Amino acid sequence: MSDPESVIETALLMQPLREPVLRSAIQALQLPSGSRGLDAGCGIGLQSRLLFEAIGPAGSVTGLDSDLSLLDYAVEAADSAGLAGSVRFCQGDVNNIPFDDNTFDWAWSVDCVGYIPVDPLPMLRELVRVVRPGGMVAILAWSSETLLPGYPLLEARLRTTTAGMAPFLKESEPERHFLRSPGMFRKVGLVDRSAETFSEEACAPLTDSLYRALSTLFRMRWKGAEQELEEKEREAFLRLTDPESEEFILHHPDYYAFFTYSMFHGRVPQ
């Protein structure tokens, strides 16, 4: 997934699955109309455009990412959508955000701050620094899934593999786990802290876009997991997740799956 073209392709394939749940989270935040926001770890800018929709044409969103190849795609896509000047993009490190104090009314980060396997506190402090007093900081990440209905033991086993736990590391401190974000928010001084979880589901018959998204998710979520499974588990896993298999689970007429995103948010003290 380090190849930019693969990252872009995967993001586009996954968007039909992710977009509804991200829209729900954005709606719950009730971002002020006409406000200025930061999308930290914006990737190819898909959520930056969703955020701009929420704040209206008088507002602006700045996407920040360290990967110039992803930003090039984001700029081109935003320009093609007629959003040049309203949705901007900047290369930079979330550990050292290249903006002055109190620049934004709010900051948002999805599947980045608190989720990637590095110490989240420096990144959170940077988000707090660039948001004005009274402004909001929100972080979101994928938090659970059930993708193999009828096979709870196999799916439980997959969660114990290196891929199943990713992006978390076995040696990570419990206090640095994403779902411990309320404690991290407290440490960086955010007030009015809150948490919400949003779910999205997929049920047969699947649309073509959801079929492709779920097929992509299987490969991404459990990449290499079969190497850690016992023989019978591995055989079942490959039968169920290989599109060439007669037992590929997405072909089941009663297929149903769901996943969740959890969001933590708080306000910068006045």
Structural domain containing residue 158: 4-267
pLDDT digits (tens, 9 = 90+) for 231-240: 999 999 999 9
2 pLDDT above the threshold of 70: no
At which residue do the structure tokens 């104090």 appear? 101
Q: For the chain, what is the domain count?
A: 1
CATH number of the domain within which 238 lies: 3.40.50.150
Q: What's the pLDDT at 1?
A: 47
The predicted model gives 211-220 an average pLDDT of 96
pLDDT digits (tens, 9 = 90+) for 44-86: 999 999 999 999 999 999 999 999 999 999 999 999 999 999 9
172 pLDDT above the threshold of 80: no
The predicted model gives 258-263 an average pLDDT of 97
pLDDT digits (tens, 9 = 90+) for 124-166: 999 999 999 999 999 999 999 999 999 999 999 999 999 998 8
Q: What's the pLDDT at 116?
A: 87
Residue type at position 259: F
Cα separation, 22 vs 129, in Å, equals 25
170 pLDDT above the threshold of 80: no
The predicted model gives 233-256 an average pLDDT of 97
Q: Is the peptide bond before 4 cis (omega within 30 degrees of 0)?
A: no
Using CA of residue 115, residue 28, residue 19, residue 86, what is the dihedral sign? negative
- Chain-centre distance for alpha carbon 237: 25
In contact, 54 and 26? CB cutoff 8 Å: yes
Please name the residues in contact with 104: beta carbons below 8 A apart, sequence gap of 6 or more: 36, 37, 38, 62, 130, 131, 132, 135
The predicted model gives 198-220 an average pLDDT of 97
User: Bridge-partner residues for 38, per DSSP?
Assistant: 62, 107
C-alpha distances in angstroms, 9 versus 14, 44, 73, 214, 220? 9, 10, 11, 14, 12
